[in-house]
Structure 1
């Protein structure tokens, strides 16, 4: 198996490729037997054992790599890798303090909301079930937000916001200059087979929140704390006074000195720093203990449906999900984050359940506003939102930046039918389908119609069958943290 993000290990022979060596004569008997099975199965490589359809592997691959092919077809990983996982070590004193702050509801105006209220550890630091498209906050827990909270998990490797790859050669170039370059540069099509090329595109990448408006977990923690529709903590003076009365106030004095409460802004800054350290140090925020992680390491076997979903997830002619949600370890063996951290304008339908959307003149256009203002004039980016991780995605109650969908099936239906059967996705008014109805007309040209499966035309065949989508959903469930792997055999 490839260990680079640029070579997905599923849709080609790389999935089962063995180290180069001359086959021994004894292998030919097995190769001929496999070839016979493939031929009897119809020549397409789709085998069936019992009642379960097995994943399709091209006949030529079976012939060239029979042992690896059998391992792969039966749900195993023929080339397990050693992942470079974050070290397991005790939390620092600052991180321990951050843990107490993360769960402290006293900091909110209502006295009922903490960081964990919107980022529940029991659900992959996603919003809790039944929370709706947006959370309620404010002083009485009745004020609706504008976007569903993204997951706080797997952010420890998130890079600062930029336009395009890391700017190593000219660090003095401004964001506005990068934006101008990005709008005139050629863009490589994003597919599961060309991630090495598409990652070099001069497109927005990195940052936190749906619009990347902050760069550090410390800054991110301060957003909900003082947002009037979220925790609504008021002023630094109020927050510092509450902290000074809490049992953990002694830790503040021990860690940050006897004068830490003399300046409320410093008190809050240290509190946000502690929350950030908690997220960075606690392995539960990046556990990498899903079934898929175990499979990558040769410690788990995928079911037939999960393996078919894995193939469809990477198949350019089907889901092509891995084009944006990278599923291969990095060249340094870091486990995949299932996001390229780039921004996309997908044109998801407007969500009438968001109170702000009752105003027909209100539009959430992501990088261009209303919460981010520094790119408001870069109209080529209007409607773009951050590509989130798919880890623990099956535990989210709502999907996309506006929470318009409540199930993974609805999400896959969107990708499958947006262009070929838009009437299934968007509302119809006076006999006309209102496509991209959550974007103003002048920004609709920004919507991605280039990358598969979003490059199909009206009336064409959808990229995925109903079975393909069920299989992909089964695979996505293997990304939930908390899997107990098989014990290694001696």
Structure 2
């Protein structure tokens, strides 16, 4: 049963973007046949095991993942669950009541994360971390670029690997080992559910942690995390209209000479299927975000977050001869779905409002003194990167292709229009299925 679920989850949530855009009709047919076979393979939805309506509609393995995701015993000391920082009411992100909005509070009283917590909504569509050839819009050159993975720096290849990070991170859930996590689940109230999903000897298996992580990944890959229930989705379905300002913002979003947001936050322009509008290509970019002085680690001038280029094992997966240092300062382009409710923004949470982010994109290089503190120095730009890596910052693509004093690609009214459009991407709560009595 677990093997069939793994295949289904992989087909549905990892290969989905590629299936939609590149695979043949035959490949699509195979995917739907596999999905149709799921009930016969034992992937029945939860009925008698459901504690409440919030559990209804989940398969046993997804329910096990939900139990793990919400278990506050799985931190050291106890009190913090995955859901503490990935709050379902906030598009599966948050900061666990941290005194610093940009960083999540860990299980230890003095522990704070190092980056803004990424939303887990729609992340199951991200492919495994890899390099692919992509045409540079500014130069026309085709070159290898990193794509996919999880976290801001792609250090986890996939969702299963991602589960390990917070559980063992001393600044987050602070467990000493995978075995310690397994033992807590073994002695917990849902241990029998784990045995029913994976067999009576699950806790004696050397692969126990990985299999339990697969349950969490299955839950994070369920429709609960990607409901496609926003106003924009209903616009695509023909059920709702955008306002004049929202429609203008959508046009500017796509316009390659104005916002050009669609260069990284992609969608299939001819498609009316919400699933074809993930609003990310899972790529990486160096935006030159201003340094966030509220982050305690940043009190040390030598502390620099270089992002992707320090990812473990990067040189091993990069093409031969690839300049890994060219990736210093790059962070993953997140989906813009739910962006209006997932602030603060960028990897370091430096911006508190969505409008500031859009305005930064438009005026970063036309009016750098607006964003960087050393207003009298041209070298103050990109102040959260060592000077030797500042040439990695994207200054070629629209709207970044401007110089000080030039007219920005977007004026204030156009910035407001794009922000209005981005608000249409917030998922709207739908009634949960009722649990059977």
Shorter-chain TM range is: 0.7 to 0.9
- Match of residue 156, structure 1, among 112, 119, 124: 124
* Partner residue in 1 for 2:137: 188
Residue in 2 that maps onto 1:242: 184
2:223 equivalent to 1:311: no
- Measured against aligned partners, the alpha-carbon deviations of 1:293-347 in whole angstroms (never above 9, x if no partner) come to 1111111111111111111212223211111111336879543100011110111
| Structure with the higher helix share, 1 or 2 | 2
Q: Given the superposition, is the C-alpha separation of residues 128 and 477 from structure 1 closer, same or farther in structure 2, using an over 3 Å criterion? A: farther
Contact 1:103 1:114 in 2 (8 A): yes
CA-based RMSD: 2.7
1:288 counterpart residue number: 228
Q: 1:124 aligns with which of 91, 94, 99?
A: 91
Deviation at 1:361, TM superposition (A): 1.0
The whole-number CA distance in structure 1 between the counterparts of 2:427 and 2:315 is 36
Shift of 1:400: 0.7
Contact 1:330 1:336 in 2 (8 A): no
The equivalences for 1:22-41 within 5 A come to none
1:208 has 2:150 as partner: yes
Query: How many Å apart are 1:110 and its aligned residue?
Result: 2.7
Q: Which residue of 2 aligns with 1:257?
A: 199
Query: In the aligned structure 1, how far is the partner of 2:62 from the partner of 2:402?
Result: 48
- Deviation string 1:168-219 (CA, Å, 9 cap, x unpaired) is xxxxxxxxxxxxxx9xxx73339xxxxxx89x65211111111111222111
Separation of aligned partners in 1, 2:339 and 2:414? 18
Instruction: Choose the corresponding residue for 2:106, options 137, 140, 143.
Output: 137
Verify the 8 A CA contact 2:112 2:171 in the aligned structure 1.
yes
Pair member with larger Rg: 1
| Equivalent residue, structure 2, for 1:437 | 383
**Which residue of 2 is the match for residue 114 of structure 1?**
81
Give the match's secondary structure for 2:239: coil
Count of residue pairs the alignment pairs up: 373
Kept after mapping to 1: 8 A contact 2:369/2:375:
no
Find the residue that maps to 1:467 and give its secondary structure.
helix
> Is the partner of 1:204 in helix, strand or coil?
strand
8 Å Cα contact 1:118-1:127 kept in structure 2: yes
Q: Report the equivalent of 1:147.
A: 115
Q: Of the candidates 259, 280, 288, which is equivalent to residue 339 of structure 1? A: 280
Give me the whole-angstrom Cα distance separating, in 2, the residues matched to 1:412 and 1:130.
27
Paired residues of 1:133 and 1:402 also in contact (CA < 8 A): yes
Q: Is the 8 A contact 2:97 2:105 kept in 1?
A: no
Residue of structure 2 in register with 1:358 after alignment = 299
- Partners of 2:93 and 2:227 in 1: how far apart? 15
When residues 340 and 312 of structure 1 are mapped into structure 2, their CA distance, relative to the original with a 3 A threshold, is same
Which of residues 416, 430, 435 is equivalent to 1:470? 416
- The alpha carbon displacement at 1:92 in A equals 1.8
- 1:422 Cα shift? 0.5
Partner of residue 11, structure 2: none
